[in-house]
Amino acid sequence: MRLGGVDSAAVPTFVNWVGNQRCTPARRASPASEAEVQDVIRAAVADGQGLRVVATGHSATPVHLTDGTLIDLVNLGGIVQVDGTSRRVRALPGTPVGAFGDPLWEAGLALPNQGDIDTQGIAGAVATATHGSGIELQSLSAWVRGMRLVTAEGTALELDERDERLAAAQVAIGMLGVITELELEVVPRYRLVERIEHWTWEQAWGRLDEMTRAHRNYGFFWLPSEGSGALYGLTAPEGASLADSCYVKVYDEADYSVPDSDVPDRRVDRSYRIYPMPPFEPNFHELEYFVPYEHGADAVAAVRELMLKRLPDSIFPMEVRTVAADESWLSHSYGRASMVVSVSGVPGTHYDPYLREVDRLLGEFDARVHWGKLHFLTAEQLHARYPRAADFIALRRELDPRGVFLNDHLRPLFA
């Protein structure tokens, strides 16, 4: 039997980007159109199977996993339309974030912000509220102005800004249906000036609010030990120590009188060329939590103290960034600006106790989670920390009463 171009009799095991999640679904499909997506969903429902969707498998959580049908988006990528007048772009769900750069630039446009990895499919990046850094810059999901998705009944649903359900669908972790097209609002194109420097902890943390408010993008990696830098390819200036120090990253928009530059740590170029870090083999399993911005500095300091006590389990750097508030129901930044704290476990080690300590600590600061990164959120915490959680669950039940799009990871939270 063939569905969406894949022979369901020979189904390969799925393994995610960082290698910590895997499954062997009963059926795997690569639909190339919305009609084929509908066919795959109807077949899964008829066979009593659950269904999940994967693009590049960038998430470290089990969000992709299923023993039923796994849809991949390898045949559903590409820019559909760029409208320079309305500053809107329509794209298919498997389009990598990095693929927006050139077409938008040629139309005088750009994505408002990006993270330091641009290989994720846009639907997955949106569905998990992936983000960059900047106190006035929202995550990618907040810029979604419309979408088409196929529900558990196989019906194609069109959502736009007039439909309240769009705020739920912007960050839905694949639980409302399979996205087949997205419309995003974008901004006039811009260039960035990069500034990357090695600072002390006191400088980077002590100036956290000042630098966040003074610059377009401000963030840093704090290195707990001398060996931490090598894990991300960071080296100390001659004669300097890496332990308890920070690599600070500052971006500001470049005036067009400033020429392009490829000088390391001082580059000037188009925005989408500056954001991504060089390609690398992932060697970390990441947890990323979001606390209210006003409590962010205290939370960052508390995590540093915990990490120093937990060496060498906590050898990976801590990354600190900010994100603006938005109105997506399941967003980490719903109704509040956030300080972002990321820590990682070392693959092959028993890092779970350490990450659970970080979870308990940041829970004291009302932390929300990145849906694509490791987390320990409970159903009770979901309802306490996400004001629209009950509304989202009610809509999920309405659109998917049998829970076709749930899996063992999502069911305890959202059933």
Q: Where are the domains of the chain?
A: 79-188, 191-376
pLDDT recorded at residue 2: 47
pLDDT recorded at residue 340: 98
| Number of residues that make up the chain | 415
pLDDT recorded at residue 192: 98
Token readout for 154 is: 């196989």
Token readout for 360 is: 């308990």
Q: Please calculate the CA angle 268-272-275 and round it to the nearest 5 degrees.
A: 75
pLDDT recorded at residue 1: 39
pLDDT recorded at residue 9: 52
Residue 91, C-beta contacts closer than 8 angstroms, at least 6 positions apart: 78, 79, 80, 100, 122, 181, 182, 184
Domain 191-376 indexed as CATH 1.10.10.10: no
Low-confidence ranges of the chain (pLDDT < 70): 1-10
pTM: 0.95
Q: Which fold has domain 79-188?
A: 3.30.465
pLDDT recorded at residue 401: 97
Alpha-carbon distances, residue 287 vs 26, 66, 290, 377 (angstroms): 30, 22, 10, 11
For 389: left if phi > 0, alpha if psi spans -120 to 50, otherwise beta; the answer is alpha
142-162 confidence digits (pLDDT tens): 999 999 999 999 999 999 999
For the chain, the distance separating the N- and C-terminal CA atoms, rounded to the nearest angstrom, is 31
Q: Is 245 helix (H, G, I), strand (E, B) or coil?
A: strand
pLDDT recorded at residue 7: 45
pLDDT recorded at residue 83: 97
345-390 confidence digits (pLDDT tens): 999 899 999 999 999 999 999 999 999 999 999 999 999 999 999 9
Token readout for 250 is: 């500052």
Q: In degrees rounded to 5, what are phi and psi of residue 242?
A: -85, -30
- The span from the CA of 241 to the CA of 226, in Å, is 7
pLDDT recorded at residue 4: 54
